[in-house]
Copies of this chain bind each other. A is one copy, B any other.
Amino acid sequence: MERFGNSSPDQVRLIIGFARAIAFVMGAGFSLAVGRIGMRMAVEANVRVASASKRSFGEALRIAYRAGTVTGMLTDGLGLLGGTIIFMILGIAAPDALLGFGFGGTLLALFMRVGGGIFTKAADVGADLVGKVEAGIPEDDPRNPAVIADLVGDNVGDCAGMAADIFESYEVTIVSGLILGLALWHITDRLEWIIFPLMVRGIGVFSSIIGTYFVKAGKTGKSEDAMKAIFSGFLTSAVVSAALFFIAGFLYLSTPEMSEWGGWWRLPMAVGVGVLLAIVIDRLTEYFTGTHASPVNEVKKAADTGPATLILNGISLGFESSVWSVLVIAITILASIAIFGTIDNPSLDAVGRSTFILYGVAMTGIGMLTLTGNNVAMDSFGPISDNANGIGEMAWSGKTDKETKDAQQIMADLDAVGNTTKAITKGVAIGSAVIAAVSLFGSFLVDVSRAQASLGTPLSEQIQAIGIRVDVPQVFVGMLIGGALPWLFSSFAIQAVSRAASLIVLEVRRQFKLGVLEGKVKPDYAQAVEISTTAAQKELVSLALLGIVTPIVVGLFLQVEALGGFLAGIIVSGQLLAVFLNNSGGAWDNAKKLIEDEPKDPAKNLGKGSERHKAGVVGDTVGDPFKDTAGPALNPMIKVVNLVAVIIAPIVVQYAGATGVTQFVVLAVGAALLGLLAWAVMRSKAPAPSMIVAEEVKPKNK
């Protein structure tokens, strides 16, 4: 209100609504831009990496890594730009617009993650099932009409989807940090809570750039060297940024005014914890999915006794890894309690103390994503090296000279490292999603209380005073539904991949019948790309609806406290499920790679073509939709749900006690949305077409 001096409340509401809409479009546009440019960068880099691999290991590594850095810097830049602009224009009226900004970015990220994930795995699984399994031609064989769709898919899913996703995490952590910072400004009358997060972001950009120069290797090298180089870049950035946080904190925050609120060290400390958290999650994921630690080697050993034991081993690995991730997140929150729960100021009540702690959690999230530049680079590294490997395979097929073999080995090694770096950034992304969700939970409470206050609800009955009590049966029900949503979403995402893959299977079979395999007809690559695109777009509608509509339905029917329980449930179960799906998938992929690295000798059951390799391929195929579709899509899904809840909450509060016609309208809207949800569920449960055809056409053992 203060911001718009002499406007009427209605005018203010209009301005804020308008600003939110513009911010939404901006967030969505930025997210889209990051995704598109990330994909373009990867495509440009693929061929160069393949070419560089003929010259030097170090050069191939550098090109693959730096291409991603460009996208990473863009992520940093646009995220900072958007948040700062909104804040400069709107001042204390910024939270609403910031929510719009975050929501736009997150929604686009969800679309790109889900759509990209379905696209990439439909093409991959479809190409493999007909090509490798039925026709017996190698992976990435140019005669396979789906091969281009498969390569395109790697970029769509991992570059576009991941870049948009990390951009959105970057955005949402700063949004929740600023909203909570503003709440602290109301409590403490200090602007530092808002300025410091923005400084932290600036420092992050700087240290990411420095770290990039430490990712280097010699003319020859193995995957260990690449992993070591990438991690040393990451660690350098981490150390530099942590040092700068404390210096900036000391210079900016060590004032008498701030020492009333616990002194200068708490803010840099919380951000530092975030950086540490990113490193720990990085190491944890590398332990569970990297080729050199025992878990993946155990999975590989389990291949001795066939695909079943390999699958079981990967699943129990995934289960366990998700537990450690949750524990790390839990310890981080405890650290926030230790840092911000111990501020000794007599004017601080319970609500204020809680806001401080949640602000600390938000700062940890900001710290975690300090090294976004490095993270995006590491992630893009995966598909770039994967595709470079594919391009090498296709372009040099048949060549057996040493130079080509060496280059192919370099690319295979980089590809394996890429699997791990991809898994690591997914770990950081989901970790930051949970942290962001926890701090959004804080924003939810602040926003609901504000709405309640404006309706004249006394302070003692506002949500910040009574809290989200899971011992209240209605809230518990909300929590149960929230816990279930990620499972439904994952189930449907996996089913969507099967459905889309079956369309590719049918198309490839059709082209094979025309004589593509024998070279009579040229393969029509465009057709497979077209089918994947259409299928992905179609499937993502119902999945996105699940994320958008469910919180509204829960809010309208079960009220705002249950909506809070719903958010809590979704965070707990989403985090566990996402890490499980990502890490199991990553471990299977690398276990297969380890088997492929053995000297090829099917008689001794070693290497490609052996029984053990077949078991590894089964694991990899199971893991594909886990780690590239369902798992990573949970990340933007959790945040879309959170943001929808925060946006819808004031409306829910307003119509909570409605009677007569209003009540009828609210219930009718709720029922309509429930119907929409049912439609989405029905659509997502439709059976795949291919299976029936498969039975008719196929005597598989040719």
**CB within 8 Å of B: which residues of A?**
129, 133, 294, 298, 301-302, 304-309, 311-313, 315-317, 319-320, 322-323, 326-327, 329-330, 333-334, 336-337, 341, 354, 357-358, 361, 438, 441-442, 445, 466-474, 476-477, 479-481, 483-485, 487-488, 490-492, 494-495, 498, 505, 564-565, 568-569, 572-573, 575-576, 580, 603-605, 611, 617-619, 621-622, 625, 685, 687, 690-692, 694-695, 698-701
Which of A480, A498, A565, A687 has the largest number of chain B CB atoms within 10 A?
A480
* Residues on the B chain within 8 Å of A576, using CB: 483-484, 487, 573
Contacts A491-B316, A491-B323 given: A471-B468 contact, CB under 8 Å?
A: yes
Residue on B with the closest CB to A434? B480
Contacts A572-B480, A618-B307 given: A487-B580 contact, CB under 8 Å?
A: yes
B568 near A494 with CB under 8 A, answer: no
Contacts A305-B129, A487-B322, A498-B313 given: A473-B701 contact, CB under 8 Å?
A: no
* Residues on the B chain within 8 Å of A322, using CB: 484, 487
Copies of this chain present: 2
B695 near A474 with CB under 8 A, answer: no
B326 near A484 with CB under 8 A, answer: yes
* Residues on the B chain within 8 Å of A605, using CB: 698-701
A301→B692 CA distance, assembly (Å): 8
Q: Which of B445, B473, B492 contacts A333 (CB 8 A)?
A: B473
* Residues on the B chain within 8 Å of A687, using CB: 294, 298
* Residues on the B chain within 8 Å of A473, using CB: 333-334, 336-337, 341, 354, 357-358, 361
Which of A322, A334, A488, A568 has the largest number of chain B CB atoms within 10 A?
A568
Q: Which of B298, B487, B604 contacts A323 (CB 8 A)?
A: B487
B305 near A470 with CB under 8 A, answer: no
* Residues on the B chain within 8 Å of A313, using CB: 498
CB distance from A261 to the nearest CB of B (A): 18
B307 near A307 with CB under 8 A, answer: yes
CB distance from A172 to the nearest CB of B (A): 18
B470 near A470 with CB under 8 A, answer: yes
* Residues on the B chain within 8 Å of A467, using CB: 466-467, 469-472
A698→B606 CA distance, assembly (Å): 12
A295→B357 CA distance, assembly (Å): 46
Q: Which of B564, B621, B701 contacts A309 (CB 8 A)?
A: B621
Please, could you name 23 A-B residue pairs with CB atoms under 8 Å apart, sorted by A? A304-B695, A307-B307, A308-B618, A308-B621, A311-B311, A320-B487, A322-B487, A323-B487, A326-B483, A326-B484, A327-B481, A327-B484, A330-B477, A334-B474, A354-B472, A361-B473, A467-B472, A469-B469, A483-B573, A605-B698, A605-B699, A611-B701, A618-B618
